[in-house]
Amino acid sequence: MIINPKNQTYQENYKLLIGSIVPRPIAFVSTISKNDVPNIAPFSFFNGVCSNPPTIAFAPVRRSTDAQPKDTLINIRDTKEFVINIPSEPLVERMVETAPEFAPDINEFDVAGLTQVSSQLITPPRLKEAKISFECTLNQIIEIGDGTAGSGFLVLGTIVLFHIDDDLYENGRISLEKLQPMGRLAGNYYSRVNDIFEVVRKIKPE
């Protein structure tokens, strides 16, 4: 089947994206507003960019109700700081509770019964329940699209501090089994990362 995205609605294109790009890692992003209201929300258009400097990217789309930027994006624009918390499977229910588009004066930590703790180098709080958190400063925000619903932003952040649970850290590497990561699928579905296999790749061709 051949599909031209120009012949579809943005909702139809979105379904193709989230059904094809799977499983997606989840960034549970905590920020703080210029009025000192904490915010936390999940985003699954998320990945690493490079390691020198350590850089991540996530893409918050515009709100579906009015096409305005989400609070997370507004807060990052205002403060130039944010935290990427990596959610483990036991957090999934409370994470989903933070997903609706709450008013800017609502603290989603409180809504979902999550615990905020102070970061060390930046102002936005970290998520205590997260086994991994990255304190980040803003590199740049790239606006994508024409400003209507379905368009969004690409946020690039530089990691200035890693927080890794001691139990996860083994000889400079992260224990996948202890992290219990999950992936985002389409609809209301998630995946567990518990069935893995190894393929050794060559650094140079023979």
Tell me the pLDDT of the chain averaged across its residues. Answer: 97
- Does the structure show a pLDDT above 90 at 205? no
Q: What percent of the chain has pLDDT over 70?
A: 100
| Tokens encoding 204 | 């140079």
Domain at 126, CATH number = 2.30.110.10
> Residue 70 has what pLDDT?
97
Distances (CA, A) of 24 to 48, 49, 185, 190: 12, 15, 7, 9
5 belongs to a structural domain:
no
Q: Which of 89, 124, 85, 84 is nearest to 107 (CA)?
A: 124
Number of folded domains that form the chain: 1
pLDDT the model gives residue 87 = 98
pTM confidence score: 0.95
Distance of CA 140 to the CA centre of its chain: 16
What's the pLDDT at 148? 96
* 108 falls within a domain: yes
Tokens linked to 66: 């009015």
Question: Is 70 a domain residue?
Answer: yes
Q: Does residue 6 sit within a domain?
A: no
Range of the domain at 119: 24-178
CA 161, 136, 84, 184 dihedral sign is: negative
Residue 199 forms part of a structural domain: no
